[in-house]
Structure formats: structure tokens, C-alpha cells
Homo-oligomer: A and B are copies of this chain.
């Protein structure tokens, strides 16, 4: 960290207008930003605990679950992942991580830091697992937890989860799904699919800012936490017995977070009130729209973007039958400066599209249509700008009108 000292900033933030059409974060819905500017109330004010209860109920609707244990973790989506894994996994526990892409590696890495015995299976980037592949690994590994990502933006794939809960449960394992990038834009049915723990974030299809992680746990998952419950001596008034291996984190200890959100309201952290307002508004807007309607909106605008880039003569990476609705990986044509195109999009049009990681680094752009930006004008504007930038670059095979093809999808 060698940047020279700077003069302190002398004015409030005044960000330029940006249309964020990458893999997330995306523009927050203005209604969510307005909710964040509401005045604060005290931590145990009945108004505040009422908002907490409402937020739990709203996320039950969003996740399609009846889990009482549905709360926010005060951190980004990564905090939600770590809270789930550090709370579920005792050192030495076996965990199976089917890895679709970059975020599967993140689950592996976090589980390793929890001291778990981590077993992975991998599928080629741009593909998903068949249930039989997961089942064979479950039989071999006999994991305590199967942990995977539903939608991995690094590859744009949407892993079918429908069959995995039954497979995990038949072998005595719990199923954890990171639904950060998929929730709200792709069908997710927590209870019907037997997902025991799910964690998310606001900055993708939920249309909010990063910084709050909705987490829900099935009664079976809560039972694992209960067996590890540990009292903070001198901190809390309750004097439960210690049993099980203590959860290695205090901040991300979901047993304590459930006690704070539950009727006992035991003190833990000071709830991040403004982020709770944001999380509540994100869910409220989705529930008001209807979860099926929200998924259909993402499907429609994602299909329009796909048709548009294909009409520009661009190829799309990955198994299109299993693509997430909300992001597409567009192959960078030979001879085109991928970073130069992204810079021109940002500088000339204020539009951000995404770069990529790992094996796809330098090979694809990732273009998102999610949350507040899953809308017609955002899609058509992005396609129009991309067409102009590719023409200026002179090297791109601009085959036809991207805007025209997208408009046909809307017709």
C-alpha cells in the first residue's frame, strides 16, 4: 500500500451516473436507496424489532421457505457464506463441494479455514453437474454437508438443485446453497428442494447495495447449531451448558445471531439498521412483484440481451440450456481489445460491463441484466452502445442489429 498521502476529501460523494451491466453489483433500485436514508431507531425499539420480524418474513417469501430461522448477517454475501459454513462445520467434519466455477472455490477455501475435511468434485467451466455425479461423490465422501453455489457468475451457469436435497438427506448430509447471484432472477424453492441452509446478498437480482446477507436455516440445520451453542461469559445473561465444538467465530456465530433475531433478543452485534432497511425494501419490492413474475422478468430481459449479442455476431460461452437468466458470458472476438471495449463503454456511455476470472480471464465479457437493471431500456441502451464501440474498434464482426434482435424478443 504505497499510494502517497492525499488531502482529505472536501465534499460529499457525488458519483457520476453509471449503468452497471456487469455481473454485479448493479445499480440499486432508487426505492432501496431512499429506504436507507430513513432515520434510525434504537436497537431494541419495538419499531426496530418489528422491522426485523417483517424482514424475516419477507425473506421467507423470497426464499420460499417456512424456516423460522431466517435472518440477516451484517456483512456482504461472503459474510453470509462464512457464517453458514463456520456455524455448521466443526473442525474435521467432511464437506463435499461440487465446484462449478470461481465461487465454488471460495466455498472450498472458506470450509478449509473452518478446519473441515474438504472434498471437491469439479465440472468444466460452462457446464453443470448431473445429480448422479453429486450422488456418487456423496456416497464416496459421506459428507456432513454438501455445499455448492446455485448460480456462479464466473461461468454464468445455474446449477439445478431440485434433486440434491433428497440425495444429501438420504446420506445423512445437510445441503447448503449460496444463492447470492441467482436469487430473485432464477427459481429457488428452498423447502421444496430440501435446501437446509441458503445465503444470499442484495447486490444482484435483489436490486440493493452490497452489505447485508440474508440467511435461512432449516430446523435440521438449527439443530446442528444448537449442539454448538456457547454462552459469552459476562456478555450474556443466560447460562446454558457448553456442548459440541465451539463455533470459531463470534461475529458470524449463527446460533447467537438467531438468539438476537429471535424472541429472546439476546444482545449480539448492533444491527446495521440502514442496511436492514435496504434488505427489507429489496425483499418487499420482490414480494410485491411476485417471485414468479420477478424470475420471468429476468428471463425476458436476459433472453433479449442474449439475442442482441448473438445478432451482433458475438458468441456466447457455456451451456445455454443451463445459463442463469441474469448474466451472459460473451466471447471477446479475436483481435478485439477486451479491456479497451470495456473502457470505451464506461468512458463514452457510462456503462459498465464485466471482466472475468480464472480460465475465462481475457476471453469473455460478462453482461448482466439483473435487479433494477433487468429492464428494456437498460438492455437496448447497452446493446446500442456495444454496437457502436465494436464498430469503432473496427475489428469486430458486427453482423446485424443487436437492438433489433432484442426488440424482437420483446415484441
Q: Give me the interface of A with B, judged by CB distance under 8 Å.
A: 1-3, 5-10, 12-18, 20, 22, 24-28, 31, 33-43, 45, 47, 51, 53-55, 57-58, 60-61, 66, 68-69, 74-79, 81-82, 86, 102, 105-106, 108-110, 113-115, 201, 203, 209-211, 232-235, 237, 246-252, 258, 261-263, 267-275, 277-278, 280-281, 283-284, 287-288, 346, 352, 357-358, 361
Contacts and interface: CB of A to CB of B under 8 A. Distances in A.
A235 B106 contact: yes
A79 B9 CA distance: 26
B15 A38 contact: yes
A76 to B, nearest CB: 4
Contact of A358 (B36, B57, B210, B234): B234
A109 B201 contact: no
A243 B32 CA distance: 43
- Which of A7, A42, A77, A281 has the most chain B CB within a 10 Å cutoff? A42
A47 to B, nearest CB: 6
A248 B343 CA distance: 38
Nearest to A285: B12
A183 B66 CA distance: 42
A267 B114 CA distance: 21
B8 A284 contact: yes
- Which of A26, A40, A45, A54 has the most chain B CB within a 10 Å cutoff? A40
14 contacts: A1-B263, A2-B68, A10-B288, A13-B51, A15-B39, A25-B273, A45-B352, A75-B272, A79-B79, A105-B234, A113-B246, A113-B249, A211-B274, A274-B274
Contacts of A69: 1
Contacts of A38: 12-15, 33
Contacts of A12: 31, 34-35, 38, 281, 284
A39 B17 contact: yes
Nearest to A78: B269
B18 A41 contact: yes
Contacts of A9: 51, 54-55, 57-58, 280, 284
Copy count, this protein chain: 2
A153 B262 CA distance: 25
A248 B203 CA distance: 26
Contacts of A105: 232-235
A272 B211 CA distance: 5
A358 B236 CA distance: 8
B47 A210 contact: no
A232 B107 CA distance: 10
A41 B58 contact: no
A78 B273 CA distance: 15
Contact of A258 (B1, B6, B262, B268): B1
Q: Which 4 A-B pairs have the closest CB atoms?
A: A211-B272, A105-B234, A1-B262, A9-B54
Contacts of A273: 25, 209-211
Contacts of A17: 39
Contacts of A41: 15-16, 18, 20
A122 to B, nearest CB: 10
Given A9-B58, A13-B277, A102-B235, 8 more contacts: A6-B57, A7-B57, A14-B38, A15-B51, A75-B251, A105-B234, A106-B250, A209-B275
Nearest to A43: B25
